[in-house]
Structure 1
């Protein structure tokens, strides 16, 4: 299959276009005065807030369909932006005003949190962590470690106190975001357990429309979440072995091992065809494991024409 590096469509009634790290987003005004977003999940892959030079076949389809699965499964907790999924790589939904923070929820000491802890830090985003923790230990309770949401460059850690002090989000709304994030994490934890997985950490993004808070973007996908396999978690922890996990962390680890962490002056290492194929397979594995559904590849020699046609059908 031809991987989708980018899209450059021009649709009737289109009012805006934005290219994110992974998604291409098209805006449309509605006759009723509202706005819609058409969000295309490309096969671009990013790590350390840098878009890597080669796309990963089926990655966009995995992200789009995984996100849709969890958005539908959590709609009773908080309203979300999704209206319809007209194509394996496309979601259409409400255009909301995005809160400029991402709500990162962590249940275990892994990834960025562990790297900070290992470096000697015991306060992460204003949250004090206990002494004596090992990598991948379960935390006493899930914690929220928010980050600022950057359109370009790196997202940055920020504390609850700083968010409120700087007026980035009003306190009453921020409390609601915290409550939603923890409730979503609890649901995600339950759903992961049913699939033999542990939801380690994840991030949520929220927006506002007509005074209502909505969950937006992706939920519990491999780009936004980290999962461990439950059956080997305790044994690997006891033996101080790496956890078997489903996440994008393996891509970050490969980059680190090859001298790249997104810092100035560093160059992304070459990505071989074999390595790209491995990444694709890992993404498909995550979809099937997390959702319990069989992944049906959108076999199409011309995916851009397919996407264009399906979006136009939806817009008309």
Structure 2
């Protein structure tokens, strides 16, 4: 097994505090600066798996930062620099307490809800007669409340978000507009690589001067689902599963092993061999969505490498 990074404990110059999410660890520094480290942790059904996935943090960080660069002309984002393959540095923001989920196709969570007989998701009415993985007439926004580590994200409607004061109506309109623009751009980028962006989620925050910006990750296999474009129509006609690149294959493996994050369930053991296949799938997605070969960073001492690169960047910046 390759070296992985599943936990960090740094003390960077000017450090004020640390927030540890399901996958990323965020170090807050003076001058409203954040250092976000993408670990190799794997989360599914809002549960962090016991073992890390080799190269996963690097892949997530590099896809997210490439996609932020590719969308910065239509939606502003928090990113300032990427001093290390696993690290992004940018402006501190006050995050909105919702995840903006947008779906172009009935897959994953939406398909499971639909199969259970539900015809409304987050206040959005779903048409009858859809098959799993069919395209919606137009993309739908199905927000979720943002959970802390170990808790479950929960579906929530636009009306509840505004009515409960989670986000003001004025700000929510901006979030919706940005979400649709990002999904359209992401769809175009995916199509260039002969992929279909099926669904994804975006997170936003507000800077100290009141500007709404994109934060966290974008168009990664942890936040998005992709289908291969080639053969999509034929597989739908035949009622066959779609060939996809996303974290859904991990969820399906967990379901097959009687785990969906429900009370009383135990996380099944992932063998080293299976973990290597998960890492290979993440590399496959990276190369497909970016159109470039994955260059594995030095993992002989990941913790030391990150510290050296971040401290070097901060010294150069000051």
Give the TM-score of the pair, scaled to structure 1.
0.98
Structure-1 separation of matches of 2:299 and 2:186: 32
1:178-206, Cα deviation, whole Å (9 max, x unpaired)? 00000000000000000000000000000
Q: Distance in 2 between matches of 1:315 and 1:97?
A: 22
Quote the Cα distance in structure 1 between the aligned partners of 2:65 and 2:6: 21
* In 1: Cα distance, 2:240 partner to 2:213 partner: 39
Distance 2:269 2:96 in 1: 36
Tell me the equivalent position of 1:23.
24
Counterpart for residue 214 of structure 2? 215
Say if 2:187 and 2:197, in contact at 8 Å, map to a contact too. Answer: yes
Map of 1:10 onto structure 2:
11
Deviation (angstroms), 1:150: 1.2
Q: CA offsets, 1:16-64, max 9 Å, x none?
A: 101110011100012xxxx011001110000000000000000000000
Task: Tell me the secondary structure at the aligned position of residue 231 of structure 1.
Answer: coil
Counterpart in the other structure of 1:73: 70
Supply the distance in 1 between the matched residues of 2:166 and 2:40 (Cα, whole angstroms): 32
Q: Which residue of 2 aligns with 1:230?
A: 229
Where does residue 274 of structure 1 map in the other structure? 273
How many residues were matched structurally?
A: 312
Counterpart secondary structure, 2:67: helix
What residue in structure 2 maps to residue 38 of structure 1?
Answer: 35
CA distance in 1, matches of 2:311, 2:13: 8
Equivalent residues in 2 for 1:1-316, closer than 5 Å = 1-30=2-31, 35-152=32-149, 153-209=151-207, 210-316=209-315
Name stretches of at least 5 consecutive residues in structure 2 with no aligned partner. none
Inter-partner Cα distance in structure 2 for 1:246 and 1:90: 23
Q: CA deviation at 1:236?
A: 0.7
Aligned-pair CA distance for 1:211: 1.3
CA root-mean-square deviation: 0.6
Give 1:299 shift: 2.7
Cα drift, residue 269 of structure 1: 0.5
Distance 1:176 1:304 in 2: 38
Q: Structure 1 stretches of 5 or more lacking a match?
A: none
SS in 2 for 1:2: coil
Q: Could you tell me whether the CA contact under 8 Å between 2:6 and 2:40 is conserved in 1?
A: yes
